[in-house]
């Protein structure tokens, strides 16, 4: 029963490629039963534009219109493919500064979104994950990586407590270019604090496979140390490819199979879907996740589970 609740397309994200419909079609092709569409929320300040948006002479108003167009197209696809795949229409958050919280709440209400992926890509107003150069420039503002991580997890906690997103996006994204980073005591306590809060309100933690190959570590986000902490604390997991192109659908899922199996995560996987009776979004446990025919198609044997 494979799925992803974190996806992007070049149609509505300028550092991605392909159309939103192509992403949905590829999800059906690889055998997904569920997919969440989660383009980035629009950023409101000119200083928050990314380089490719500036090159296209885009404005925050353009981003806002792009997001409105995205929701319209996503809901069209939700209706069109309803008999073939369970589609949720949502967004991925930005927490650049505290004022973003009200904008997230406004977008949820105005667009009647099904769900939210809660992610942080900035520390103190500066994007750190656009590429490695941006990360290094951001890190240089702090006395240590520990100090930078403390700010990140503090901002993440603010997002979690005020929004309570359905899915926690790439929990340890701050480590994307520092994969061998080992948190000090203060950072680890902040990580545990955020995990506990998420579990208390009922979030799903995504196992994000997007950077498994590019970072060279073979680890998803969150890394296996944090994944084990989540599971030992009673947390629930889901799976996300964080695709930025149709070809990215299910990327690195074959590798994450081994992590799920080796760390005993199989019984902690959940999916999201609407309950037809209550018309509410529910978390559904996925029993025998690694025995789904998808994994045989991907070259994984049931015998290895």
Q: What is the pLDDT of residue 135?
A: 93
Higher pLDDT among residues 255 and 201, named by residue: 201
Residue 273: in which H helix or E strand, if any? strand 270-275
Is residue 109 very low, low, confident or very high in pLDDT (cuts 50, 70, 90)?
Answer: very high
Q: What is the pLDDT of residue 279?
A: 73
Q: What is the pLDDT of residue 280?
A: 87
Please determine, for residue 94, whether its predicted confidence score (pLDDT) is greater than 50. yes
Q: What is the pLDDT of residue 302?
A: 42
Measured distance CA(116)–CA(41) in Å, rounded? 10
Measured distance CA(44)–CA(93) in Å, rounded? 12
In this prediction, residues 125-139 reach a mean pLDDT of 92
Higher pLDDT among residues 296 and 286, named by residue: 286
CA-based nearest residue to 128, from 170, 177, 74, 63 = 177
Q: What is the pLDDT of residue 296?
A: 79
Please determine, for residue 215, whether its predicted confidence score (pLDDT) is greater than 70. no
For domain 90-304, the CATH superfamily is Metal-dependent hydrolases (3.20.20.140)
Mean pLDDT of all residues in the chain?
93
In this prediction, residues 211-239 reach a mean pLDDT of 88
The DSSP result for 203-247, as a single string, is PEEEEE-TTTTTTSS---BS-HHHHHHHHHTT-EEEEE--BSSGG
Strand, coil or helix: 55:
helix
Is residue 172 very low, low, confident or very high in pLDDT (cuts 50, 70, 90)?
Answer: very high
Please determine, for residue 84, whether its predicted confidence score (pLDDT) is greater than 60. yes
In this prediction, residues 228-256 reach a mean pLDDT of 95
pTM, full prediction: 0.94
Please determine, for residue 216, whether its predicted confidence score (pLDDT) is greater than 70. no
Measured distance CA(208)–CA(213) in Å, rounded? 12
């Amino acid at each position: 029963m494979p799925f992803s609740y974190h996806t992007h397309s070049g149609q509505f994200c300028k550092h991605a490629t392909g159309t939103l419909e192509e992403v949905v079609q590829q999800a059906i092709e690889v055998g997904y039963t569920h997919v969440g569409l989660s383009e980035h929320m629009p950023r409101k300040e000119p200083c928050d534009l990314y380089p490719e948006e500036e090159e296209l002479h885009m404005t925050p108003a353009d981003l806002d219109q792009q997001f409105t167009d995205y929701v319209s197209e996503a809901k069209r696809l939700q209706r069109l493919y309803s008999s073939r795949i369970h589609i949720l229409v949502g967004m991925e958050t930005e927490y650049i500064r505290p004022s973003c919280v009200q904008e997230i709440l406004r977008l949820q209400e105005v667009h009647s979104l099904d769900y939210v992926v809660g992610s942080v890509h900035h520390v103190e107003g500066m994007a750190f994950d656009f590429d490695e150069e941006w990360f290094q420039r951001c890190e240089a503002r702090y006395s240590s990586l520990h100090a930078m991580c403390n700010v990140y997890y503090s901002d993440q906690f603010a997002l979690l407590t005020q929004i309570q997103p359905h899915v926690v996006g790439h929990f340890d994204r701050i480590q994307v270019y520092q994969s061998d980073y080992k948190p000090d005591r203060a950072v680890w306590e902040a990580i545990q604090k955020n995990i506990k809060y998420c579990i208390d309100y009922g979030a799903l933690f995504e196992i994000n496979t997007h950077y498994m190959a590019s970072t060279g570590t073979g680890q998803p986000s969150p890394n296996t140390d944090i994944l084990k902490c989540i599971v030992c604390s009673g947390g629930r997991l889901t799976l996300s490819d964080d695709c930025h192109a149709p070809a990215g659908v299910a990327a690195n899922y074959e590798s994450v199979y081994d992590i799920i199996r080796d760390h005993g995560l199989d019984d902690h996987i959940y999916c999201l879907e609407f309950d037809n009776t209550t018309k509410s979004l529910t978390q559904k446990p996925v029993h025998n996740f690694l025995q789904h025919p998808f994994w045989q198609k991907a070259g994984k044997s049931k015998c290895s589970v």
